[in-house]
Amino acid sequence: MHHLDAEDWRPAASLEALRARGRLLEGVRSFFRERGVLEVETPVLGNAAGTDPHLAPLRVWHGAAGGRMLYLQTSPEFAMKRLLAAHGVPIYQVTRAFRDDERGSLHNPEFTLLEWYRPGWDHQALMGEVEALFERVVGTEGARRLTYREAFRSAVGLDPFDSAPQDLRERASRHGLATAPGAGGEGDREACLDFLFAVVVQPWLSAVPLAFVYDYPASQAALARIRPDDPPVAERFEAFLGGVEVANGYHELTDAGEQARRFEADLARRRAEGLPEVPMDGRLVAALRAGLPPCAGVACGLDRMLLAARGGARIDEVLAFPLERA
């Protein structure tokens, strides 16, 4: 039996922090009620999982009816897009989400997500609404908006699109990234960009209360549209409160064929990296074929939002019972 500390039963968050969480949830719901956005609920437990190689879903064995593997959702995105395809109205959700590999000062495997979708909007318009929400519930005033290229050039001093892979590798190594097999190739380029963004760009953004970084490299599109600029860019954004990433938004991909291709590419990458197989969500592809309206969507980590607003350092400060006390 797991040894329990005599005080383990107590919540990690203070009563004052729990009250702040309650006020945040009230503020979110009143914000969307005033704007006519419908609150919805979708399953946390599903038959399929996101294929993104960066995300690991928690698996649950359902023993009834012969037994099958189910998945706790890493985000309500796929189910919400099915609702959008069916009804085409703006929707939001406050839900629990789960990720298998995350525990740290800013990560708990179970966390609270606010996710919403705006038919007819692009990622630029949605950034404006995220800014308005944060002003309302966090108290920020205005925001700085930078393209990924502008932020990277300013903080790192290199161009993320045009710099030679060896220059990115040299700079990343200087900041502590160990040399990986295949260093210097395109996969290594991505690893260096991700590393430099986390260890150089995000701390640089911490000087700004609220910052938006948008138009990411096409290789980081996930489920965003790719705009055929030179170079092509993914129409997505991330929001940072004091340098902490709190939101990830997209001008959503609506092409069913392209979605299926990206799923297949994710699954191939999972196999190549020895990651667990996950079933592709054919119902999402079917919904896109039926017709997902042009839209933008964003997911906000409410725990992180609250933590950043309070100037805290550890996610446990705003969770009643983090994993170790759950």
CATH assignment at residue 102: 3.30.930.10
Least confident segment among 7-16, 204-213, 255-264: 255-264
Is 4 a domain residue?
no
For residue 252, give the nearest of 214, 296, 207 by alpha carbon: 296
pLDDT of residue 146: 98
Phi-psi domain of 182 (left: phi exceeds 0; alpha: psi -120 through 50; beta: other): left
User: In the chain, what percentage of residues exceed pLDDT 90?
Assistant: 77
pTM score, two decimals?
0.93
Q: How many secondary structure helices (H) and strands (E) does the chain include?
A: 10, 12
Among 44, 92, 78, smallest CA distance to 286 is for 78
Largest CA distance in the chain: 61
Which pLDDT score, from 0 to 100, does residue 186 have?
Answer: 61
pLDDT at 305: 95
In a domain, 167, yes or no: no
Q: Are 325 and 8 in contact (CB under 8 A)?
A: yes
In a domain, 92, yes or no: yes
CA 86 to chain centre: 24
Range of 31's domain?
A: 15-143+208-325
- Per the domain annotation, does 42 fall within a domain? yes
> What is the model's pLDDT at position 187?
66
The arithmetic mean of pLDDT across residues 44-55, rounded, is 89
Residue 13 in contact with residue 317, Cβ under 8 Å? Answer: yes
Mean pLDDT of the chain: 92
What is the percentage of the chain residues whose pLDDT exceeds 70? 96
For every residue of 222-271, DSSP letters joined together read TTB-EE--SS-EEEEEEEEETTEEEEEEEEB---HHHHHHHHHHHHHHHH
* Residue 30 backbone zone (phi > 0: left; psi -120 to 50: alpha; other: beta): alpha
Q: Does 51 map to a domain?
A: yes
- The DSSP bridge pattern shows strands 58-62 and 110-119 to be unpaired
Residue 51, token pair as written in the block: 């294929």
What is the rounded distance in angstroms from the CA atom of residue 89 to the CA atom of residue 31? 17
**If pLDDT is split at 50, 70 and 90, which confidence band does 153 have?**
very high
Residue 65 — pLDDT band, cuts 50, 70, 90?
confident
DSSP state of 22: H
For residues 248-252, give the mean pLDDT. Answer: 97
Model pLDDT for residues 90-131, shown as the tens digit of each residue: 999 999 999 997 689 999 999 999 999 999 999 999 999 999
Q: Is residue 6 part of a domain?
A: no
Instruction: Enter the tokens of residue 67.
Output: 């037994």
Does residue 119 sit within a domain?
A: yes
Paired tokens of 251: 């001008």
Closest CA to 51 of 214, 260, 241, 289: 260
213 in Cβ contact with 147 (< 8 Å): yes
How many domains does the chain divide into? Answer: 1
Q: Is 287 among the domain residues?
A: yes
